[in-house]
């Protein structure tokens, strides 16, 4: 029993001390510059980067691109993969089908407007893998740093 408690305590201490384990939170990913100008999120063993139109005032046919990498940023091939992006903006909801489009990309298009309150749910199924999902706020502008060190907190 004591050995089990020690192992649990040691594992907890390691998790708290390990920055790589904490680096995959939404807040930590929001501080990283995404390679393609989108927003990064963790989805199981992968990182998804969602890129949406940033300046479409009205709902019209706009592109949606999802890039898939592993936790080290290495491209994960998307050949044979499928996916969807459900975009929620105000009272509007649109689901975009994604198809492979290059090395580690999935692409589709749908009628949506670029609104600050936009939310998106990305679901990707890679060949012979279970589906993985991630939630995005692609146009939300997180505070990356402040002088007092309380990034992202409202006062």
Residues 58-84 have pLDDT tens digits of 899 999 999 999 989 999 999 999 999
Q: How far is CA 148 from CA 19, 140, 141, 153, 155, in A?
A: 21, 21, 19, 11, 11
pTM of the model: 0.76
Burial environment of residue 96 by CB neighbours within 10 A (0 to 12, 13 to 18, 19 or more): buried
Residues 6+ apart with CB under 8 A from 72: none
What is the DSSP secondary structure assignment for residue 38, as one 8-state letter? S
Which of 1-5, 30-34, 75-79, 98-102 is predicted least confidently? Answer: 1-5
The pLDDT assigned to 153 comes to 41
- Of residues 128 and 142, the one with the higher pLDDT is 128
What residues does each domain of the chain span?
Answer: 1-31, 35-136
The pLDDT assigned to 32 comes to 76
Q: What is the fold of 35-136?
A: Immunoglobulin-like (2.60.40)
């Amino acid at each position: 029993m004591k050995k089990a408690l020690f192992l649990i305590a040691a594992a907890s201490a390691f998790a708290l001390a390990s920055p790589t384990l904490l680096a995959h939170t939404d807040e930590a990913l929001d501080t990283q510059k995404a390679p393609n100008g989108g927003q990064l999120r963790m989805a199981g063993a992968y990182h998804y980067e969602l890129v949406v139109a940033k300046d479409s005032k009205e709902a019209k046919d706009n592109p949606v691109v999802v890039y898939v990498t592993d936790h080290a940023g290495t491209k994960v091939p998307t050949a044979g993969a499928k996916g969807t992006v459900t975009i929620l903006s105000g009272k509007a909801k649109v689901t975009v089908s994604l198809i492979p489009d290059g090395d580690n990309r999935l692409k589709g298009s749908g009628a949506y407007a670029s609104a600050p309150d936009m939310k998106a749910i990305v679901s990707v199924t890679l060949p012979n893998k279970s589906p993985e999902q991630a939630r995005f706020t692609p146009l939300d502008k997180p505070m990356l740093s402040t002088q007092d060190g309380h990034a992202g907190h409202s006062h």
